[in-house]
Amino acid sequence: MAHAAQNESNSYERTHFTSELQKLQTGTEVRVAGWIEDFRDIGKLGFIILRDVTGLVQAVLVGENLQKAKSIPRQSNILLKGVLQGTKSKNFPFEIKVEEVFVFSPASLSLPVDPTGRVESNLDTRLDSRALDLRNPKISNIFIIRSNVLKLIRDFFLENKFIEVNTPKIIGSASEGGSNLFSFDYFKRKGFLAQSPQLYKEQLVLALDRVYEIAPFFRAENSHTLRHLNEFLSVDLEAAYLDYYEIMSIVEELIKKILMHLRDSNNIESENSLIRGNALNDLISNPFPKISYEKCLDELNRLGEKVTFGDDLSDSSLKKLGEKYDKFYFIVDWPLSLKPFYIHEKESHPTLSKSFDLQFGYLELVSGGTRQHDVSKLKSRLVEQGLSPESFRDHLRVFEWGMPPHSGCGLGFDRLMMVLLGLSNIREAVLYPRDTSRISP
């Protein structure tokens, strides 16, 4: 949004982002703010290349302004007041003839990373100086696309009658059982960080019918990999009267909507992404394959991987499968024994469950299923899994208040961003990642 400077007392007010200048006529007076990406002094003239989050502009300086510019370090934050004019530059269609230079804040002469990208730094060094790293447009673009995709997801849920909810992240007992919970002192008792909104989202369908949540969740997993974080953003959904096949359709539709948007806005860089050129159109127009867990076992055994019914699919198995199915595909009907207590058994084959994972190659993106809504079965499933129904009392009583049948899933949003942008490390998709060795900045 462009704001005209109101009066002289507000001389620091910017009038335009750099991307808005192209629609203006030469002779227009402008004030742009940002940081100095580059400075060239060619004697009587000097050039500042000024960058803001939307792009770049060249500014030409003479006389006192040029003298002043010589002493301002690169990356300093400044405002340039001037007039648009034509230029002989091959790189810019116009430039700003500078009338005044305001320095808001000089940058130190030795910076920890080079945001122009000319000097490369390793990821750890970049993450240690993330705010500066984001001045590199290749990096900020990741987070601009991330923000756009989150908006698309919210629009999609709104169109499909889902209500956005916010469940607590501080909880008093394990939400799904399991040991991967962070715990801390909560006044005179123990508190935990939620690993998933699972129990709350199920409870909420009792009245709200269809809910979704986009929120960080926490896993105290000691796995230092390229796809695990201890805090990750999850897109959770839960819907009454739908089964797991209908949830898969919703997930597929949502992902295709995102792919179409990125294709149409040229945001999926063909060189950079796992999804290239025509492959993207094929993905959008064909259904994602659905492969049963049992068929996966057959395929894996044929490929020489020894897996028997009831085994989880190891990293090496998923890598093998991912070589054959290298894009999006669902693995459906997992053994009930591998699934949490809230997943419904398949009535026709009670050792199987109404469950699915969505994979992209070897990478698991989504996990979900039809839920058990019969409270006595829920109780016996808890006992089977060595959990105490007593500690789930608050949850189980909701199932005695007229619970509709329901299904849902959780989508790992940071992993989805890896796939969409062709990033090999989940940390690239997260501003301030938390892993087993990183808790700051």
CB of 348 to ligand AMO, least distance (A): 21
Shortest distance (Å) from residue 138 CB to ligand AMO: 23
Minimal CB distance residue for ligand AMO? 412
Whether the CB-CB separation of 345 and 336 falls below 8 Å is answered with yes
Would you state the structure tokens that stand for residue 439, as one six-digit string?
Answer: 């808790």
User: What are the tokens at 417?
Assistant: 């961003």
Residue from the set 366, 378, 417, 429 that interacts with ligand AMO by CB under 6 A: 366
Number of chain residues interacting with ligand AMO (CB under 6 A): 21
Q: Which single residue is written with the structure tokens 């715990």?
A: 183
The minimum distance between CB 219 and ligand AMO, in angstroms, equals 4
Q: Of residues 46, 408, 420, 428, which one binds ligand AMO by CB under 6 A?
A: 408
Applying CB under 6 A, the span of 125-133, 225-233, 265-273, 280-288 interacting with ligand AMO comes to 225-233
CB 184, CB 191: distance < 8 Å: yes
Nearer to ligand AMO, 35 or 192 (CB): 192
Shortest separation between residue 210's beta carbon and ligand AMO, angstroms = 14
Spatial CB neighbours of 367, under 8 Å, sequence gap ≥ 6: 355, 356, 357, 358, 409, 410
Which is nearer to ligand AMO, 50 or 419 (by Cβ)? 419
Q: Tell whether residue 364 is a contact of ligand AMO (CB under 6 A).
A: yes
Choice from 365, 378, 387, 419 touching ligand AMO (CB under 6 A): 365
Find the part of the chain contacting ligand AMO (CB under 6 A) among 85-93, 182-190, 205-213, 229-237. 229-237
Identify the CA nearest to 356 among candidates 345, 368, 365, 347. Answer: 368
Could you tell me which stretch among 35-43, 100-108, 221-229, 382-390 binds ligand AMO (CB under 6 A)? 221-229
Site for ligand AMO in 287-346 (CB under 6 A): none
CB of 16 to ligand AMO, least distance (A): 39
61, 127, 251, 409: which one binds ligand AMO (CB under 6 A)? 409
Site stretch for ligand AMO (CB under 6 A), options 147-155, 159-167, 253-261, 408-416: 408-416
Q: Does 414 bind ligand AMO (CB under 6 A)?
A: yes
Q: Would you count residue 228 as binding ligand AMO (CB under 6 A)?
A: yes
> DSSP string spanning 283-323?
HHHSPPPEEEHHHHHHHHHHTT----TT----HHHHHHHHH
Q: Residues comprising the binding site for ATP?
A: 219-221, 227-229, 364, 412-415
Please state, in angstroms and rounded to a whole number, the distance separating the CA atoms of residues 187 and 193.
Answer: 15
In the numeric block, the tokens 């948007």 are attached to 261
Closest distance to ligand AMO from the beta carbon of 239 (Å) = 11
Spatial CA neighbour of 33 closest among 55, 9, 48, 16: 16
Residue 106: cis peptide before it, omega within 30 degrees of 0:
no
Q: Going along 87-188, which residue ranges are E strands?
A: 94-105, 163-164, 170-171, 183-186
C-beta separation of 359 from 365 below 8 A:
yes
Question: From its phi and psi, is residue 284 left (phi > 0), alpha (psi between -120 and 50) or beta?
Answer: alpha
Per the listing, tokens 């499933």 go with: 381
For position 410 contacting ligand AMO by CB under 6 A, the verdict is yes
Stretch that binds ligand AMO, among 77-85, 118-126, 377-385, 409-417 (CB under 6 A): 409-417
Among 194, 229, 239, 274, binds ligand AMO (CB under 6 A): 229
Which residues in 106-203 belong to E strands, given as ranges? Answer: 163-164, 170-171, 183-186, 189-193
Q: Does 198 bind ligand AMO (CB under 6 A)?
A: yes
219 binds ligand AMO (CB under 6 A): yes
Amino acid at 82: G
* Nearest CA among 8, 52, 409 for reference residue 197: 409
Annotated binding site: 176, 219-221, 227-229, 364, 367, 371, 412-415
Cβ closest to ligand AMO, residue 37 vs residue 213:
213
- From CA 433, how far away is CA 133, in angstroms rounded? 14
Length of the chain: 441
Nearer to ligand AMO by Cβ, of 166 and 281: the residue is: 166
Q: Is 46 one of the binding residues for ligand AMO (CB under 6 A)?
A: no
Q: Which of residues 234-273 bind ligand AMO (CB under 6 A)?
A: 234, 236
Q: Which is nearer to ligand AMO, 29 or 326 (CB)?
A: 326
CB of 142 to ligand AMO, least distance (A): 16
Query: Is residue 361 a contact residue for ligand AMO (CB under 6 A)?
Result: no
Binding-site entries for Mg(2+): 364, 367
214 neighbors 412 (Cβ within 8 angstroms): no
The structure tokens listed for 79 are 């405002």
Do residues 343 and 336 make contact, with C-beta atoms less than 8 angstroms apart? yes
Measured CA angle at 212 (ends 206, 216), to 5 deg: 125
Give the three-class secondary structure for 272.
Answer: coil
Residues that bind ligand AMO (CB under 6 A): 196, 198, 219, 221, 228-229, 232, 234, 236, 364-369, 408-410, 412, 414-415
